[in-house]
Structure 1
Amino acid sequence: MKLLILLLMSVIPLNVYCQHSLSGKISLEGQTEPAFGASVYIQELKTGTTADTSGNYYIGSVPSGTYTIKISYIAHPTVTERNVRITQNLKKDFTLKSGENALNEVVVTGTMKEVSKLDSPVPVDIITAKFIYKNPVSSIFEGLSYVNGVRPQLNCSVCNTGDIHMNGLEGPYTMVLIDGMPMVSGLSTVYGLSGIPNSLIDRVEIVKGPASTLYGSEAVGGLINIITKNPSKAPVFAADVFSTSWLDYNVDLGVKLTPSSKVSSLIGVNYFNYQNPVDHNNDGFTDLTLQNRISIFNKWSFSLPDNKLATIAARYFYEDRWGGQMNWNKSYRGGDEVYGESIYTKRYEVLGSYQLPVQEKVTLQYSFSSHHQNSVYGNVPYMADQKIVFAQLLWDKEVGKHNLLFGAPFRYTFYNDNTPATSRPDGDDHADQTYLPGVFVQDEIKLGDHVLLLGARYDYNSRHGSIFTPRMAYKYKFNQTDVIRLNIGRGFRIVNLFTEDHAALTGSRDVIIKEALNPEQSWNANINFVKKIVTGNSFIGFDASVFYTYFTNRILPDYDTNPNQIIYDNLDGYAVSKGVSLNLDFNFPFPLKIIAGGTYMENYQNENGVKFRPVLTEKFTGIWSVSYELAKSGISFDYTGNIYGPMRLPILSEDDPRAANSPVWSLQNIQMTKKFQNGLEIYGGIKNLLNFTPPSNSIARSFDPFDKDVSFGSDGQVIATPGNPQRLTFDPSYVFAPNQGLRGFLGMRYTFR
């Protein structure tokens, strides 16, 4: 019998019965909370586990050997430790650090204060540069199409200008900030959003729901805060260049300068060029607007005595874009022979902050922007100038359990154009000038696991008078895995019609303003629940919200009453936006990561007892991102996509042959990236895998863009004729998706630290 045992021992490998364990604790650098749900994976054995609520992990039955251990945790870069020798029970602790491309857990947008994302009483979504790289785009405008509940909306089939819809609300209800200041608003919401270079973006913070208590007008449906990179932490040099099979070219460059130990500077340049007119849908018009765009950004950071900081940044943006009939050139600009929409944009910005040299934490924030627009839409000129001056003094004071924030903002807006927006009864042109001083206070009260945030703001608008906006937020942390938030607030918006609605500028419809428009007001409530779930050796992040917004005095363009007019009026009734959203993050012990989300919403207006849905408002949206990495080869794969439910479209009449509602449609992309150890990355893939494009007849009467063969009656209505039996006019506002179908792309990215 002993002989048999010895014989078995000689033929069975030693590591079968020499089993050990690997255990320890995973901590987060600079944080007291453990890394609950972090994955620990032994690559050679293809086995792993997740950390418990105390951050402890345990893997048993590990044979003797030398292994590669990977530790990954949502919001942090993966840590790989090679050549870990296990010959006995091994206890090994790990500390995870935030990286340059990691999801930074510190957010500022919800409360204007630096606070961890988990501890913020206001739910904040975060998008990093790394997320944008999963599907390379030439502007943040396109990159936001893979954020749950956010949809970039094209407003014109010809010039491809657009805005950002959030939870089904139109672009003017979403405020866009740069480093917390209102740089992209009014006129630039339509034309300037695409000019923010990706090279300067550190992260994008998104708050859904009114934030007017802190940020004032326009923050009615939500806000998008583009946080630029800290020059002291940026890489020395970064470059990102790519092109697609449509022959569009995008270049992003970033350079860091360090003149001294207390001064650092970041220079970012973005250049985009597309000069290849194509007409795949055979409507006679360019499928994609031709563009020549450059944006230059320079930011300086200064370290002051007593750990105080100061920053100042400037940006210059220029764009020349046109779309129209395929035989258009600049000699036809402004004429009625060949139709084209040509837009020249020049924009200057300065923004910064300065912590005052006083004992208290007092910060001055300031910004200035100048936006000049020189456009023609066929034979209709549109010339506009907008200047915005903004300054805000903030005092951050902590007293016991009260974290107080006092603010004194001031905003001056100058706007002038050649449309009825700035005309007066005497026929003269008068620039519109608005002064908006205000004060606000916010009190964040911390009582153990309970956090209560109270806020109130008073503004005095030089045209509309006093405006008061209160706010309340509550957060309760059940345990390490479950958090619930309740937010209630009021929003308001001052409307500038001609800076917000492209269809009012094309000349295809007359603009009717029925009365002096009052500010829009809204009340919003949303409940957010966050849960972390550990299932075996996997981790799931669960984030669900229910939202409800009630509008009064809402102003929306009426396209339906008269197909030749856009009628603006305060709604005689109310409007509602409500829905539910869900985000899921899957973190596996092997290198697979999945992000998925969906939003179902109902938006409607009720006027004189009649309930109807606004145009270009979808029923549901969905997004996903699937990433897989082959660590040894340095190759990774990304599959991204979105899906949109039906939306009502602006048809011209009951005889209009175009569909009254859009189909369910989806844009999907796949990318492969090869990373080299010297900081070089080469990537390529396919965009719009399903080759989806909108109907080829999206532009009504594209063959007669100046309506030369359209007959009108004495009442202004179109008369049916043998050449126009469906009573149509030229109209490019019927648009819900880009015209670019399936296309390949190839790019190179290099980072030197």
Structure 2
Amino acid sequence: MLLIDQQQTYAISGKVTDENNHPIPEATVMLKELQKGVATDASGQFQIASLPSGTYTLIISYVGRQSVQQKITLHHANYITSIVLYRKNETLNEITIAGSQNKFSTKRTDYVARLPLKNLENPQVYSVIGKDLMNEQLATDVLSAIQNAPGINSVTESVGSGGVGLNVNLRGFSADIALRNGMATNYVTLTDPINLERLEVIKGPSATLFGSTLTSYGGLINRVTKQPFDTFQGNIGYSFGSNNLSRLTADINTPLNTSKTLLFRVTAAKHNEDSFQDYGYQRNYAITPNLVYHASDKLTLQVETELYHTERPSNFFGISGGVTAKDFNGLRYQFDHSYGSDDLQSAADVFNVFARATYKISEQWTSQTNFSSGNTDNNANYLFLTFLDNSNVRRMPMQITSKFTSQQIQQNFIGNFQTGTLRHKLLIGLDYYHLQTNDRRTRFVLDTVSNSSPDVDINIDAYHTRLGQTAPFTKYQRNTSTYSAYASDVVNLTEALNIMASLRVDYFDNKAEDYTQTAFSPKLGATYEVLKDQLSVFGNYMDGFRNIAPDVSDPANPIDYEPEHATQWEGGIKTDLFQKHVNFTLSYYDITVRNIVRTVPNNDNIGGFNSVQDGTKQSKGLEAELIANPLRGWNIVAGYGYNDSKYTKASEDVQGNRPYSTPKNSINFWTSYKLQTGVLHGLGLGFGGNSVSDAFLDDANTFTIPAYTILHTTIFYEQPSYRVGVKINNLTDEHYWTASYWATPQKTRNVVLNFTYKF
């Protein structure tokens, strides 16, 4: 029944967009009870004014897209909303209505569970970093963007088999970015954020749905790319600033036929930047064409490619037994010196292909066939810098030329059906993943330099001569295939109670080292919506595993090992309150890794050791995330992570110690406000940063990576056709380090200016 208070009138206003956050003009917005409606304007905006207080049904529709109905109560205030309309032939089975202006709350994803589950009915914890937040922060690399997720820390460019990838610490474990749109990419490969729709940080051991090769026990990071849509639109941007930054970007989308069934989108970036230190530079470019063909109401085909090239320094710091300092602050290191050279660079060429065929078999079943191919050619010239004491540093170059090739074929059947009174969302999948690499590694000690005279260049001709005279210390090949089957069923036992049960079986074949292993990985979870679409409590049990090669040090008596396993118990709450203005997640987790191979004395009186598979490691902690829109135009993203990790059964030298690069506390925070009305409408300010407690550089816990707090601020002016922004990173000029076993100094204070033209 419509309740009306005639003494006061109100207005309903908002914006209608597609799934790519692009405005939909001429959409119909109707109030069912009053049969009163309007059409959206060219920017997707609408307003219905002079409305009495009461409860209404707002209906939004547009040709070719699924309609949305939303209940609205007008009482003491106007109502503002943001609505997403999805294509009718998309495979999404749920409609998400975003809360008014809470533009950073983009929790909808089909990748976390490989099923279309709402955040409140998904028993797994995940964070989503959307392009709106990345654009507002003027993020020019993935490294800075990923630090907006709670619990993420120790973010650094890291070493890996001749490539330079991005490594993070997640719930006490090292993790790479190895997934794109839920499929495999080469894990020691950097990329550009120009084609990112969002980054998904999926927490906990997730081998059940994603396999062991692509995940860590702490979780995984999935890159979701920008997709084509059916209107002509785009933007061109240019950024410049400190360290001779010069960055040109483009994002262009267009339909290729009049029926708008063939859609094309291309993103591109050219990035030049010098180091904040005396030597080193980056020269990167990326281009990512993406083609979608809606062949019929049932069949959609997609092909996406990714080409990326990078040249950058790869300098990594370590310590030796001669160092008496207890942390980096105690070393006599001059932060503006790299000890490297402009000529000593690492280069990588990346060519990735992704293809998908989605076929709607019936109203209840959808088939999804995925293919991914990753190819990376690396020419790495690492420079390992070891402090021999508090002042002197040994320089040891290492060249690794390598090739990474991966292919993945995946077939999913996704069902949404009912048996009796029970609603099922069912996933059945088959997966084949092949990884082949080869590399050639050569290293030598170049010299020792002193902090008193650190500006010592490297003669690149002498370096290559020395390389030619040095035999490689190893040539390594990897050739593995993984055959998998998995199933996951989410059952609505009641309208409020959901139960998830999942299982995976993996057959791992390592041809290079001649062994095979079979592993089973279960996953269980439950959610209960205490308040429908507002508050749920959840719990999960998850499993991860790692294949362990046999010990063949004694060929006559090889030792076979079981796969290493990690199990997680987790519970907490999720909210989506105040008409989606407040999104909050709080969780407690406990991860135990077992079947770790460790060494023990064999008591043979000659100092020998044996390997036994009974080691354990525990990681437990608390995570909280808040995404809020307290007032129109004011947005907040904040997170806190507490992690307590230790070796509970290990070799004597690390027993009871904390694993390296695992700080206990990490905080991320960002808030911004944009004027919504008046002469300065579109002017905004942003402020935030990260704070991370200290950690150890080594498992022996003898050397500390100091705690740090970095702050950033931005001012911007945004209009429908352009955007201008300025950002200061590391406002207080903090000198800080991050590490993944080897440490790297991070950027000092720098300024980025950006202009983007939108059409």
Is 1:370 the counterpart of 2:365? The answer is no
Which deviations, in whole Å up to 9, do the C-alpha atoms of 1:167-202 show, x marking residues without a partner?
A: 343434x553111101142xx2xxx23x23x33222
Aligned letter for 1:313? E
Provide closer, same or farther for how the CA distance between residues 516 and 277 of structure 1 changes in structure 2, counting only shifts above 3 A: farther
Provide closer, same or farther for how the CA distance between residues 473 and 247 of structure 1 changes in structure 2, counting only shifts above 3 A: same
- Find the counterpart in structure 2 of residue 299 from structure 1: 290
Which deviations, in whole Å up to 9, do the C-alpha atoms of 1:251-281 show, x marking residues without a partner?
A: 22111232112111111112211246733xx
Is 1:410 the counterpart of 2:432? The answer is yes
Whole-Å separation in 1 of the counterparts to 2:580 and 2:500? 34
SS in 2 for 1:122: coil
Is 1:545 the counterpart of 2:587? The answer is yes
Is 1:668 the counterpart of 2:675? The answer is no
Whole-Å separation in 1 of the counterparts to 2:73 and 2:668? 33
Provide closer, same or farther for how the CA distance between residues 56 and 24 of structure 1 changes in structure 2, counting only shifts above 3 A: farther
* Larger Rg, first or second structure (1 or 2): 1
| 1:351 aligned to which of 327, 345, 354 | 354
Q: CA RMSD in A?
A: 4.2
Provide closer, same or farther for how the CA distance between residues 140 and 234 of structure 1 changes in structure 2, counting only shifts above 3 A: farther
Provide closer, same or farther for how the CA distance between residues 100 and 54 of structure 1 changes in structure 2, counting only shifts above 3 A: closer
Query: Is the CA contact 2:130–2:197 (under 8 Å) kept in the aligned structure 1?
Result: yes
Which deviations, in whole Å up to 9, do the C-alpha atoms of 1:347-394 show, x marking residues without a partner?
A: 111111112585552221011111111122354321211111100111
SS in 1 for 2:695: coil
Whole-Å separation in 2 of the counterparts to 1:568 and 1:154? 35
- Find the counterpart in structure 1 of residue 128 from structure 2: 126
- Find the counterpart in structure 2 of residue 442 from structure 1: 488
Whole-Å separation in 1 of the counterparts to 2:729 and 2:610? 38
Query: Is the CA contact 1:362–1:394 (under 8 Å) kept in the aligned structure 2?
Result: yes
SS in 2 for 1:145: helix
Query: Is the CA contact 1:76–1:102 (under 8 Å) kept in the aligned structure 2?
Result: no
Aligned letter for 2:380? S
**Larger proportion of strand:** 2
Which deviations, in whole Å up to 9, do the C-alpha atoms of 1:226-261 show, x marking residues without a partner?
A: 211221157622223212222122222111232112
- Find the counterpart in structure 1 of residue 198 from structure 2: 203
- Cα shift at 1:590: 4.5
- Cα shift at 1:457: 0.6
- Find the counterpart in structure 2 of residue 388 from structure 1: 406
Query: Is the CA contact 2:209–2:486 (under 8 Å) kept in the aligned structure 1?
Result: yes
Whole-Å separation in 1 of the counterparts to 2:342 and 2:726? 36
Query: Is the CA contact 1:26–1:96 (under 8 Å) kept in the aligned structure 2?
Result: no
Query: Is the CA contact 2:115–2:425 (under 8 Å) kept in the aligned structure 1?
Result: no
- Find the counterpart in structure 1 of residue 326 from structure 2: none
SS in 1 for 2:656: strand
| 1:476 aligned to which of 521, 528, 547 | 528
Aligned letter for 1:581? E
Superposition map of 1:196-595 within 5 A: 196=192, 198-217=193-212, 218-219=214-215, 220-232=217-229, 236-260=233-257, 261-275=260-274, 278-279=277-278, 286=279, 289-322=280-313, 341-356=344-359, 359=362, 360-377=365-382, 378-400=396-418, 401-419=423-441, 431-447=477-493, 448-462=495-509, 463-480=515-532, 481-494=534-547, 519-532=563-576, 540-554=582-596, 573-595=615-637
- Find the counterpart in structure 1 of residue 686 from structure 2: 638
Is 1:602 the counterpart of 2:644? The answer is yes
Whole-Å separation in 2 of the counterparts to 1:465 and 1:682? 55
Which deviations, in whole Å up to 9, do the C-alpha atoms of 1:678-729 show, x marking residues without a partner?
A: x20000021101210138xx99xxxxxxxxxxxxxxxxxxxxxxxxxxxxxx
- Cα shift at 1:661: 1.9
Is 1:57 the counterpart of 2:79? The answer is no
Deviates more, 1:174-183 or 1:477-486: 174-183
- Find the counterpart in structure 1 of residue 35 from structure 2: none
SS in 2 for 1:133: helix
Whole-Å separation in 2 of the counterparts to 1:152 and 1:556? 26
Query: Is the CA contact 2:232–2:255 (under 8 Å) kept in the aligned structure 1?
Result: no
Provide closer, same or farther for how the CA distance between residues 550 and 225 of structure 1 changes in structure 2, counting only shifts above 3 A: same
Which structure 2 residue ranges, 5 or more long, are not aligned?
1-5, 20-30, 32-46, 48-52, 57-69, 86-96, 317-338, 383-395, 443-472, 510-514, 550-557, 600-608
Is 1:690 the counterpart of 2:727? The answer is no
Whole-Å separation in 2 of the counterparts to 1:568 and 1:112? 43
Aligned length: 594
Whole-Å separation in 2 of the counterparts to 1:405 and 1:204? 23
Query: Is the CA contact 2:198–2:225 (under 8 Å) kept in the aligned structure 1?
Result: yes
**TM-score when normalising by structure 2:** 0.70
- Find the counterpart in structure 2 of residue 508 from structure 1: none
Whole-Å separation in 2 of the counterparts to 1:397 and 1:215? 19
SS in 2 for 1:302: strand
Matched residues, percent identical?
A: 16
Whole-Å separation in 2 of the counterparts to 1:144 and 1:395? 31
SS in 2 for 1:144: helix
Provide closer, same or farther for how the CA distance between residues 465 and 157 of structure 1 changes in structure 2, counting only shifts above 3 A: closer
Deviates more, 1:397-406 or 1:457-466: 397-406
- Find the counterpart in structure 1 of residue 24 from structure 2: none
Whole-Å separation in 1 of the counterparts to 2:684 and 2:342? 45
Provide closer, same or farther for how the CA distance between residues 362 and 577 of structure 1 changes in structure 2, counting only shifts above 3 A: same
Provide closer, same or farther for how the CA distance between residues 690 and 410 of structure 1 changes in structure 2, counting only shifts above 3 A: same
- Cα shift at 1:433: 1.0
Whole-Å separation in 1 of the counterparts to 2:229 and 2:340? 54
- Cα shift at 1:750: 2.2
Superposition map of 1:93-172 within 5 A: 103-151=105-153, 153-154=155-156, 161=164, 163-172=166-175
- Cα shift at 1:445: 0.6
